Structure 1
Amino acid sequence: MIGIVGAGGHAKVIADIVSCGEREEPIAYFSAGLPPAWAVRAAHYHDNEEQLLALRASVKGWHVAIGNPVVRKRKLEWLLACGFPVIQAVHEQSVRAESSVLGEGAGVMAGAVINPYAAVGRGCIVNTSSSVDHDCRIGPYVNIGPGCRLAGGVKVGELSELGAGVIVIPGMTIGKRCVIGAGAVVIDHIPDHSVAVGVPARVIKRSSN
């Protein structure tokens, strides 16, 4: 059995990826609410530590499929600290260079490309049809939205989120805990804890969190 922590939209996508790669393995969802209607034929359990520990021996691999990177980090770090077998979810129609590195529990969606010597951190989401070019360094728990284009040598800090269609030119650094609005074009470095939007991207807000 494969355990998916989460039962929202992102969990649907991860379940599809897992089903393609592990066709003989049933899927169980773990979430705080009621079972989602779309997962009516799958097992559903309440997402709490006692329940996960009770089913530990029955689950072959775990994947945290939660879009919020802060929550995803908390859940995944707990699983790893307890020694649970955490799996990546990589769509069979994505492209990943042999020299690239993909962290524990990361997800790579259909049409995504990770080019040579790029490193994508633990628990990252590389979303549909996005591309991470050569020598990029993507920190842990980063969300790369659908259709993003990260040129060579880009760095993105932990827990940052890039909206759909963001473009980042070569060599730029986006700090930790940043939010880059959909469609933005990043042509300069973005400091930690920034919200940036527009073409070119401009910082409109800073926080200390």
Structure 2
Amino acid sequence: MKKIVIAGGGGFAKEVRAILERMNQKEQIWEFAGYVVNDRDGEEIFGNDEKLVSADESLHVVIALGKPKQREKLYKMYRKNPKLQFPNIIDPSVQMMSEVKIGKGTIICPNVVLTVDIEIGDFCLINMGCTIAHDDLLESFVSVNPGCNLSGNVKLGSLTEVGTGSTIVEGIAIGKEVDIWTGSAVIKSIPDKCIVVGTPAKIVRHKS
């Protein structure tokens, strides 16, 4: 079995551990070595970020944080240690049809459907009950929160976050570092570094 640690100590980290256990029910893959947190010690705590970066053993790491920039920040820190590997963590219930390409470090939660000719970058998060349709492209460090529906030929730029229950219609291009708030319906393409909300979604603020 492969030793794995979970970076993060919140509710989502517990959900990721449950996914690891579900994966092990199908095939014994992961030996859980603890959570990586900076604010506490305990029986199931591996240690802090500094301990992980200096670890002298081969370890697999899953970054269980919901916010794109938080995942990016930790990856930039952890990649200094060549002994660390970043596997994709995919719940056994996920349905993948064909020609789905996934980078490294991505988490796909229960009851997600991925159809055909989809490309997903590194360190993405696709949370529970999402649908990702044909020819979609998710660049690295994208977060798609629970219950979202992406129609075909949608592009999400890096570091973009799609809020819970949102819908993006076919052929829409979303820029980098865009925040789509909960329950939005996106029917027009969105440039980089915007916050959008509503049905239909409108830009409410441009990020600096």
TM above 0.5, yes or no, is yes
* Number of the residue aligned with 2:71: 72
Counterpart CA distance in 2 for 1:88 and 1:29 is 17
- Matching residue within 20, 24, 31 for 1:25: 31
| Consecutive aligned runs of 4 or more in structure 1 exceeding 4 Å deviation | none
Counterpart CA distance in 1 for 2:152 and 2:76 is 29
* Number of the residue aligned with 2:99: 99
Corresponding letter in the other structure for 1:198: G
- Cα shift at 1:56: 4.2
Which range is displaced more, 75-84 or 174-183?
75-84
Counterpart CA distance in 2 for 1:53 and 1:201 is 41
Asked if residue 177 in structure 1 is aligned to residue 157 in structure 2, the reply is: no
- Cα shift at 1:69: 1.2
Count of aligned positions? 201
Q: Give the 3-state SS of the residue equivalent to 1:28 in structure 2.
A: strand
Q: Specify whether residues 78 and 30 from structure 1 end up closer, same or farther in structure 2 by C-alpha distance, changes over 3 A only.
A: same
Contact 1:181 1:196 in 2 (8 A): yes
* Number of the residue aligned with 2:81: 82
Q: Give the 3-state SS of the residue equivalent to 2:99 in structure 1.
A: coil
Contact 1:173 1:189 in 2 (8 A): yes
Counterpart CA distance in 2 for 1:174 and 1:103 is 20
Corresponding letter in the other structure for 1:184: S
Counterpart CA distance in 2 for 1:98 and 1:64 is 26
- Cα shift at 1:184: 0.5
Contact 1:132 1:150 in 2 (8 A): yes
Which range is displaced more, 167-176 or 20-29?
20-29
Q: How does 1:140-179 map onto structure 2 within 5 Å?
A: 140-179=140-179
How high is the sequence identity, in percent, across the aligned residues? 27
Counterpart CA distance in 2 for 1:149 and 1:78 is 32
Counterpart CA distance in 1 for 2:172 and 2:15 is 30
* Number of the residue aligned with 2:194: 194
* Number of the residue aligned with 1:115: 115
Counterpart CA distance in 1 for 2:134 and 2:37 is 36
Contact 2:55 2:81 in 1 (8 A): no
Contact 1:19 1:25 in 2 (8 A): no
Q: Specify whether residues 43 and 157 from structure 1 end up closer, same or farther in structure 2 by C-alpha distance, changes over 3 A only.
A: same
Q: Specify whether residues 62 and 164 from structure 1 end up closer, same or farther in structure 2 by C-alpha distance, changes over 3 A only.
A: same
Corresponding letter in the other structure for 1:164: T
Contact 1:119 1:138 in 2 (8 A): yes
Q: TM-score, normalised by structure 2?
A: 0.90
Counterpart CA distance in 1 for 2:138 and 2:58 is 33
Corresponding letter in the other structure for 1:31: V
Deviations 1:57-105 (A, max 9, x none): 163x111111121121121233334321111110000112331111200
- Cα shift at 1:46: 3.1
Q: Give the 3-state SS of the residue equivalent to 1:78 in structure 2.
A: helix
- Report the structure, 1 or 2, having the larger strand content: 2
Corresponding letter in the other structure for 1:9: G
Contact 1:88 1:104 in 2 (8 A): yes
Q: Give the 3-state SS of the residue equivalent to 2:35 in structure 1.
A: strand
Counterpart CA distance in 2 for 1:81 and 1:190 is 34
